[in-house]
A and B are shown apart, each in its own frame.
Chain A
Amino acid sequence: MTKNPLHDFFQTKSIAIFGASASKGKPGYVIAENFIKNFKGKTFLINPKGGEILGQPVYQSIQEVAEPVDSAVIIVPAKYTPSAVADCAKKGIKFVTIISGGFKEIGEEGIRLQKEIDEIAKANNMRIIGPNCIGLFYPKRGLDMIFLPDEKLKRPGVGGVSILSQSGAFGSAFLDIMGSLGNGNYLSKFVSYGNASDINEADILEYFGEDPETKIILAYLEGFKEGRRFIEIARKVSLKKPIIAIKANRNEAGAHAVASHTASLAANDAVTDALFREAGIIRAYTWDELFDCMNAFNSSFLPEGRCVLIITDGGGAGVMASDAVGELGLELAELSPHIHEKMRADLPPIISVANPIDLTGSATAKEYLYALEQTIDDPNVDSITYIIIPTPPAINVYDLMEGLKPYAKTIKKTITFCAIGGKEAAYIREELEKMNFPFYPTPARSVYAIDKLTEYADYLRAHGMALPKLREVPKE
């Protein structure tokens, strides 16, 4: 098996930045600054104007660099890009990321330029990411090609999630959200691959599948360069780690004249749906769903079965969560008799010890914690959704959060959290995210997250695989 080229892109020891700029606010400046400040390797700045950026010399041409260079990132205008790629070829650089736009996506002239690049790359055994993308981000090595400044896009810290995104804007916004969530430590590797003139979605998926640092794979796709290969790779990768993917552009017609029923039923999106299922890919349809899945897979365990326990203090919230359980084809757990009896005896009669466990408007933090303590090891319960409406007078949310903290380290069961309301709900969210618990703003989303974890666990069981431990325990 040949080594996946993404390995060299991410593990590069030295990089040349074509189009490094001294003007603050320009993409060429932001990228130069990212590398100078953070990259654990050598950075060479290239710009015909020469000079200095942040105290580092700027070479007028790559040929002035005496030592060998592994890779390059190109941010010069499209019309100068082929000559920059040719310079890389001359220097022996094999791995080139082209951030610049103005290629295939703009029409004829761009297509011509992209073809020119492809030919140079092919003739010199070079591999290309892009053009028209935001490139790579790998926080562990400070490899950061994102031209959006740090104060605008909060970079996530090191974690186990890797992302491949056809869209740069989607990818960067998602990174910003990850960076702002909880302790922000979520990301292993990010690739925005734009026009995919060479490296495509299937190559990246294959690499993330092999990469030991990647625990969870997220994908944002609008189309495929190698759809069949993507599915074939996903079949293998999904047995080792979850793949959660959006395939947008869902109304794209599989437009061709059809003579059979099969062809008329085989609208491209229906086929995508079924083939994702075949390959064990969890399909998200919306931004919320992708985020909710990321949060669940990164912060929870895979459930041993389909039985969900709802713990709440709100009748309505419990009913809505039960509805979601039914609609998604999950089941309401029935507590083990001895646990049920003990809880019935210990709790005031107003509290409903069924499923949902309804602590009612007289709920206290102590009762909330008691309900979790009693049910967390019940083998009849495969997962718990813990829905807090903080408004009742007797709930001290500070005590409740203090009481949940020890569970952040010890928990072994699938659990999702929800708090509904204003200021106190926001506080609960913040505290739970610090504990790296998956938090959701509505009961339906809290149950949806359990459903997706269950779907993946079912897929693994059906394929005879053990369930991997996914939850990241928060670092002190």
Chain B
Amino acid sequence: MTTDKKSLFETAYKEGRNFLLEHEALQIFEAAGVVFPPNKLTKDVDEAVAFAKKIGYPIVIKAMSPQILHKSDFKAVEIGITDEGALKAKYEAMKARLQKFALNGILVEKQVKKGIELFIGMNIDPTFGPVIAFGIGGTLIEAIRDVTFRLCPTTKERAQRMIDEIKTQKMLNGFRGLPPVDRDALAEMIVNVSKIADKYNNYIKEIDLNPVIANEDGIFGVDARIILKAKD
């Protein structure tokens, strides 16, 4: 983790945002060794088509706007785009739909295969300070509440114990024909996220990687959110 990405946070503050846009957050995560599917911030549909051709379908597109934190509230995400025709149509429709918002671009990302949905997060606990969280992710995350915590930054051994502590071990051991989750790689990812929280502790208030998808190809962050501390 040698590259310093402080300027991303400073830009956000300058623009009056308390969060990083996803393509900014991705730069932080990827610099720290957290794996995401191939992705690119595109300015127009031609750029999107060219990138999609390179990485292959299906793909996902997400609008990056300083005014949009919860993308699903604004239909700023389209998933399951399987060909060029659909990409062109959905890309233009998204632009039109969100024309009243300032758009930094549209993120084109390879859609990962089905897998186990996990999550990794970070939060500043009022008693214990920065803690890293790991658990079962997805849209039901707050209903399932199968989650555990460690102080930030954490170690690989501790991250491994976090994985062992999750109640829903069945999900991790090869659920419904999926391969067992690579616990070693997952532990490393938890450690890397905890290091981000530690390195940028002046800036970061909360991190959400939900879902993190574990499938036959590996473990990928899919949706990434970094919330910033209030600028003092």
Binding site for B on A (CB under 8 A): 223-224, 227-228, 231-232, 254, 256, 258-266, 268, 270-272, 274-275, 277-278, 462
From B127, B208, B210, name the one whose CB has the most chain A CB atoms within 10 angstroms: B127
B151/A231 in contact, CB under 8 A: yes
Q: With A231-B151, A266-B123, A277-B165 as given contacts, are A259 and B19 in contact (CB-CB < 8 Å)?
A: yes
Residues of B within 8 A of A261 (CB): 119, 121, 137, 141-142, 208, 210
Residues of A within 8 A of B227 (CB): 259-260
Q: With A254-B126, A261-B141, A262-B133 as given contacts, are A274 and B148 in contact (CB-CB < 8 Å)?
A: yes
B151/A228 in contact, CB under 8 A: yes
Residue of A nearest to B125 (CB): A271
Residues of A within 8 A of B133 (CB): 262, 265-266
Binding site for A on B (CB under 8 A): 18-19, 69, 119, 121-123, 125-129, 131, 133, 135, 137, 141-142, 145, 147-151, 158, 161-162, 165, 206-208, 210, 225, 227
Q: List 10 A-B contacts (CB under 8 A).
A: A227-B127, A259-B206, A259-B227, A261-B121, A262-B208, A263-B206, A266-B131, A271-B149, A274-B148, A274-B150
> How many Å from the CB of B160 to the closest CB on chain A?
10
> How many Å from the CB of B38 to the closest CB on chain A?
25
* Of B119, B127, B141, B165, the contact of A274 (CB 8 Å cutoff): B165
Q: Give bound CA distance, A256 to B230, whole Å.
A: 13
Q: With A259-B19, A262-B206, A262-B207 as given contacts, are A268 and B126 in contact (CB-CB < 8 Å)?
A: yes
> How many Å from the CB of B218 to the closest CB on chain A?
22
* Of A224, A258, A265, A278, the contact of B151 (CB 8 Å cutoff): A278
From B129, B135, B149, B165, name the one whose CB has the most chain A CB atoms within 10 angstroms: B149
Residue of B nearest to A463 (CB): B157
B131/A271 in contact, CB under 8 A: yes
* Of B69, B128, B135, B150, the contact of A265 (CB 8 Å cutoff): B135
- For the complex of A and B, the 8 pairs showing the least CB-CB separation, nearest first, are A262-B121, A274-B149, A227-B127, A260-B206, A260-B208, A274-B148, A227-B128, A266-B123
Q: Give bound CA distance, A262 to B18, whole Å.
A: 16
Apart from A227-B125, A256-B126, A271-B149, list 8 A-B contacts with CB within 8 A: A262-B133, A265-B121, A265-B135, A268-B126, A274-B148, A274-B162, A275-B131, A278-B151
Q: Give bound CA distance, A270 to B125, whole Å.
A: 11
Q: Give bound CA distance, A254 to B127, whole Å.
A: 8
Q: With A259-B206, A275-B131, A275-B149 as given contacts, are A268 and B125 in contact (CB-CB < 8 Å)?
A: yes
Residues of A within 8 A of B207 (CB): 260, 262
Q: Give bound CA distance, A419 to B150, whole Å.
A: 40
A275/B158 in contact, CB under 8 A: no
* Of B19, B69, B123, B158, the contact of A262 (CB 8 Å cutoff): B123
Q: With A262-B207, A265-B142, A278-B161 as given contacts, are A254 and B125 in contact (CB-CB < 8 Å)?
A: yes
Q: With A260-B207, A265-B135, A265-B142 as given contacts, are A223 and B127 in contact (CB-CB < 8 Å)?
A: yes
Q: Give bound CA distance, A279 to B18, whole Å.
A: 33
Residues of A within 8 A of B141 (CB): 261, 265
> How many Å from the CB of A302 to the closest CB on chain B?
19
> How many Å from the CB of A250 to the closest CB on chain B?
12
Q: With A260-B208, A261-B119, A262-B122 as given contacts, are A271 and B128 in contact (CB-CB < 8 Å)?
A: yes
Residues of B within 8 A of A264 (CB): 142
Q: Give bound CA distance, A326 to B208, whole Å.
A: 36
> How many Å from the CB of A156 to the closest CB on chain B?
31
Q: Give bound CA distance, A264 to B208, whole Å.
A: 11
Residues of B within 8 A of A277 (CB): 148, 161, 165
Residues of A within 8 A of B149 (CB): 266, 270-271, 274-275, 278
Residue of A nearest to B69 (CB): A259
> How many Å from the CB of B20 to the closest CB on chain A?
12
Q: With A260-B206, A275-B151 as given contacts, are A231 and B165 in contact (CB-CB < 8 Å)?
A: no
Residues of A within 8 A of B131 (CB): 266, 271, 274-275
* Of B150, B151, B225, the contact of A260 (CB 8 Å cutoff): B225
Q: Give bound CA distance, A333 to B118, whole Å.
A: 35
Q: With A259-B19, A265-B147, A266-B133 as given contacts, are A462 and B161 in contact (CB-CB < 8 Å)?
A: yes
B125/A260 in contact, CB under 8 A: no
A275/B142 in contact, CB under 8 A: no
B161/A260 in contact, CB under 8 A: no
Residues of A within 8 A of B225 (CB): 260
Residues of B within 8 A of A259 (CB): 18-19, 69, 206, 227
Residue of B nearest to A230 (CB): B128
A265/B145 in contact, CB under 8 A: yes
> How many Å from the CB of A458 to the closest CB on chain B?
11
* Of B125, B137, B161, the contact of A266 (CB 8 Å cutoff): B125
B150/A275 in contact, CB under 8 A: yes
> How many Å from the CB of A277 to the closest CB on chain B?
7
Residues of B within 8 A of A228 (CB): 127-129, 151
Q: Give bound CA distance, A312 to B60, whole Å.
A: 63
Residues of B within 8 A of A266 (CB): 123, 125, 131, 133, 149
A278/B127 in contact, CB under 8 A: no
Q: Give bound CA distance, A259 to B204, whole Å.
A: 12
Residues of B within 8 A of A254 (CB): 125-127
Residues of B within 8 A of A265 (CB): 121, 133, 135, 141-142, 145, 147
Residues of A within 8 A of B119 (CB): 261-262
Residues of B within 8 A of A258 (CB): 206
Residues of A within 8 A of B158 (CB): 278
> How many Å from the CB of A472 to the closest CB on chain B?
31
> How many Å from the CB of A174 to the closest CB on chain B?
24
Residues of B within 8 A of A274 (CB): 131, 148-150, 162, 165
B127/A268 in contact, CB under 8 A: yes
Residues of A within 8 A of B123 (CB): 260, 262-263, 266
Q: Give bound CA distance, A227 to B161, whole Å.
A: 21
From A224, A232, A275, name the one whose CB has the most chain B CB atoms within 10 angstroms: A275
B161/A231 in contact, CB under 8 A: no
Q: Give bound CA distance, A262 to B134, whole Å.
A: 9
Q: Give bound CA distance, A263 to B161, whole Å.
A: 21
Q: Give bound CA distance, A254 to B129, whole Å.
A: 12
> How many Å from the CB of A187 to the closest CB on chain B?
29
Q: Give bound CA distance, A277 to B135, whole Å.
A: 16
